Amino acid sequence: MTKQQRKTGYAEAVAELEEILDGLEADDVDVDALATRVRRAAELIEACRERIAAAKLQIDEVLAARES
């Protein structure tokens, strides 16, 4: 996880992904910025997946502790 990913919360990442998607769906896509936007979207998706995995692990630990 990069420093930027650690600073970006899940909700922020999703919001930024929505902004990127809106920009890509626009009629006037800036082709010069396209690769940068797609790269950033990939970073945000990775950060979201990592946060979901971490949350799942925490949930599993809580449930396992309750079963003990």
| pTM of this structure | 0.79
What pLDDT, on the 0 to 100 scale, is given for residue 4?
57
CA distances to 45, 46, 48, 68 from 53, in Å: 12, 11, 9, 23
| Residue where the block lists tokens 């950060």 | 47
Q: Radius of gyration of the chain from Cα atoms?
A: 16
Residue spans of the domains in the chain: they are 3-67
What average pLDDT score do residues 14-32 get?
A: 92
How are the residues of the chain apportioned to helix, strand and coil, as percentages rounded to the nearest 5?
85, 0, 15
pLDDT category of residue 26 using cuts at 50, 70 and 90: confident
